[in-house]
Amino acid sequence: MESLVFLDVETTGLDGYRDRVLEIYMLKVVHSGDVEEYHTMINPERSIPGYITSLTGITDEDVRHAPLERDVACGIREFIGDGILVAHNLNFDRRFLASMFKRNQCRPLHAKGIDTLEISRRLFPKLCIYPEGEGSHKLKNLMYHFRLEREFANSHRAKDDVFLLVQVYRHLESYARGQSPYSYPKAMIHGCPVCHSAMRMEINHGKRELVCVNGTSCNQRLVV
Ligand SMILES: [Zn+2]
């Protein structure tokens, strides 16, 4: 059996070729149950845009003394080995890694991967939006969906997000196998019974209500 490599990158922007990785955290879970971790900050040799610092809390000062990409790129590739990558919106992380490996003449990245975003879309086509979930298939929304918010955080720092990702992956897997501890009203995962838009969850006086996001033309409200 191959190992699973859960990973998350924080970056200087959204462009996998022009922008650079600032932080990477990986957790390799070997079939035997052994776990290995890899973490590094990377000095991107450019200043970090303000919106990235607001999102992640990572400042220029934090990476001033961090290794350069060329010092760590091939070590990151070696850590992944033949492991199956697992990430939320894997193609984002994959573009950054593939271009980093190419720039540094490391072994190219293989194609094996599992995208928890894709799995979530398949299992919960119109997942409801939780009060602080920020969007239906966002990692943060899944955190609320699987009731993980007390123990885990979506901090947009690589290690926290990987720890959350591992739990989300396990919940998706058990749901797909019909072994989930939770069951959900149909409207929570398939959307509005009238117009099929996603529902937004509101909590009013301790009662959970689903409200159609298509509020102007569809006034569906359901207590769940
Ligand atoms: Zn509706």
- Per-residue pLDDT, 33: 86
Quote the ligand 1 centre to 217 CA distance (angstroms): 8
- Phi (first) and psi of residue 15, to 5 degrees: -90, 110
Quote the ligand 1 centre to 88 CA distance (angstroms): 28
The neighbour count for residue 101, using CB atoms within 10 Å, is 18
Quote the ligand 1 centre to 191 CA distance (angstroms): 8
Confidence of residue 215 (pLDDT cuts 50, 70, 90): confident
- Per-residue pLDDT, 202: 95
- β pairing state of 21-29 and 35-41: antiparallel
- Per-residue pLDDT, 62: 96
Quote the ligand 1 centre to 138 CA distance (angstroms): 21
Whether 26 and 79 have beta carbons less than 8 Å apart is answered as yes
Quote the ligand 1 centre to 215 CA distance (angstroms): 7
Taken in order of first residue, the domains within the chain and their CATH numbers are: 4-114 (3.30.420.10), 185-224 (no CATH)
Q: Which residue has the tokens 């490391």?
A: 106
Quote the ligand 1 centre to 136 CA distance (angstroms): 16
Quote the ligand 1 centre to 211 CA distance (angstroms): 8
Quote the ligand 1 centre to 221 CA distance (angstroms): 9
Quote the ligand 1 centre to 145 CA distance (angstroms): 20
d(CA 149, CA 153): 6
Q: Please give the mean pLDDT across all residues of the chain.
A: 96
Quote the ligand 1 centre to 199 CA distance (angstroms): 8
- Per-residue pLDDT, 153: 93
Structure tokens, 127: 């997942």
**Predicted TM-score (pTM) of this structure:** 0.94
How confident is the model over 173-188, as pLDDT tens digits?
999 999 999 999 999 9
How confident is the model over 84-139, as pLDDT tens digits?
999 999 999 999 999 999 999 999 999 899 999 999 999 999 999 999 999 999 99
